[in-house]
Amino acid sequence: MEGFNPQWLGILMFVGFFFLLLTGYPVAFSFAGVSIVFGLIGLAMGAFDFNLLLSLPNSWFGIMSDSTLLAIPFFIFMGAILEKSGLAEELLETVGQLMGPLKGGIALAVVVVGTLLAATTGVVAATIIAMGLISLPTMLKYGYNKELATGVIVASGTMAQMIPPSIVLVLLSDQFGLSIGDLFAGALVPGLLLAASYAIYALVVAYTRPGSAPALPPEARTLSSRTLLLRTLRAFVPPVVLILAVLGTIFAGLATPSEAGAFGAIGASILAVANRRMSRKVIADAALSTAKTTGLVLMILFASTLFTKVLFALGSDLLIEEWLTNLPGGFWTFIIVANIAIFLLGIFLEFTEITYIAMPLLVPAAERVLDVFNPTGAFSNEGYTMVWFAIVVAINLQTAFISPPVGFSLFYMQSVAPKEVSTVEIHRSAIPFMIIQLVVLAIVIAFPETVNALVRLSFR
């Protein structure tokens, strides 16, 4: 087609990809199918060199040779062992009994345990489903407001996107070319700030709206003080020590994330054995869960590699980068546009797809924009660094995950909610927590030291 810029084929690739997704076609096959079709169109137009695809096997081999990605199955297995063995359930019940005498105590327990589970599972679906099955019936039984009960589970469960060792951060480190240790350190303060904000909101609602989050009645607090103390020491302390040990070895530079993940997987297995919760079924279920999640991530990664190769061969990446780097208003306009784009993508897509679609386009543009805006280098007075930008992306993805009408966390909650909790109530429950997350996102954007301070202190 004379006069047609082949760079626009890449834009049409995105349109075709989203169309296939809306029809319910699997993500990995959508990536691959669209890439093949538009590669053939580009070949027919003389705008695509088929020989470029000959490097695809080498790219896949390079991906599988990256030891960074080994952290994914290790961290998933660590969380799966704690979940399948029942240790996570015991942890939630224990913290619930411990905080039960407070108004909003169970909601507070959900935030605490959600944060701890996020630091072990790294998988949003597993965390939300586990807490939904365990804590939602209890909250409803004792008269909690339905929207507060479901909202706090949805928001706390989605902390697995942010709290290290998050799979999101592992994938972002690969796409940004940054140290996982730096991203883990950078995400810690924003993640804890989110958790603290959820807890404060739950307590404010409990104490300002009578009857919305009552304390557990005395007959429901079945454990004596001595029994509760022993159970807390057994159920709460060991997972916390394990998490601190895993993250501490990464931050101190004593182990790579993959080594720390292996240590965590072994530690979780030892905890299950020590509590007499380990069995052949627990190991098999945890291994299957790990294999499924890891296989899904790698399948999408392989297919998205083909997608980006075709996109780059058509020159569409240069067109998009030019748009992003020449926006009127420079740095701040880029940050606003990038956040809006990630948020909208996050409503419709899983974080893996966004990471492999958007990051290859946003990262080069972000590097150029940050270079111009902050030419003195990383950790200058401005503090607007690539680590900071990666954490902003992670917070944004988490916000999109709970955003109505199609945030994925809402559907995970819906899958385990009892019949008396309607879909409308679940979607409405997320709105206050979505606002909280946007406020925290604004704080992190305005004050980059919330990210950079711990990165500076960690031994890199």
The string of pLDDT tens digits covering residues 7-20 is 677 778 777 877 87
Helix/strand/coil for 142: coil
Neighbours of 230 (CB within 10 A): 12
**Residues whose CB falls within 8 Å of the CB of residue 69, separated by 6 or more in sequence, listed in order:** 63, 170, 174, 298
Is the whole model's pTM more than 0.85, yes or no?
no
Residues 66-89: b if buried by 16+ CB within 10 A, e if exposed: eebbbbbbbbbbbbbbbbbbebbb
Asked if the model's pLDDT at residue 368 lies above 60, the reply is: yes
**Residues 202/106, Cβ–Cβ less than 8 Å:** no
Averaged pLDDT, 80-84: 80
Other C-beta atoms closer than 10 Å to the C-beta of 7 total 17
Evaluate whether 113 touches 91 at the Cβ level (below 8 Å): yes
Report pLDDT for 379: 44
- Residue 193: what residue type? L
∠ Cα 420 149 354 (to 5°): 100
Is a pLDDT exceeding 70 seen at residue 82?
yes
pLDDT band at 195 (very low <50, low <70, confident <90, very high): very high
Q: How many residues does the chain have?
A: 460
Q: How far apart are CA 45 and CA 63, in angstroms?
A: 31
- Taking only the tens place, the pLDDT of each residue in 241-269 is 887 888 788 777 788 778 888 888 898 89
**Per-residue confidence at 121, pLDDT binned at 50, 70, 90?**
low
Average pLDDT score over residue span 365-391 = 72
Positive or negative, the CA dihedral 139, 165, 384, 347 is negative
- Rg over alpha carbons for the chain, rounded to the nearest Å, is 23
Helix (H) or strand (E) holding 209: none
Q: How far is CA 224 from CA 38, 133, 219, 228, 275, in A?
A: 67, 25, 11, 6, 21
How is residue 345 written in tokens? Answer: 């993508």
Mean per-residue pLDDT for 77-89?
A: 79
Q: Report how far residue 361's alpha carbon sits from residue 318's, in angstroms, rounded to the nearest whole number.
A: 9
What is the number of alpha carbons within 13 Å of residue 63 lying toward its C-beta? 19
Res 136 pLDDT > 80: yes
3-class state of residue 309 by DSSP: helix
Q: Which amino acid is at 257?
A: P
Cα(164)–Cα(305) distance, integer angstroms: 26
- Give per-residue pLDDT as tens, 196-210: 999 999 999 988 988
- Could you give the CA distance from residue 186 to residue 164 in angstroms, rounded to a whole number? 9
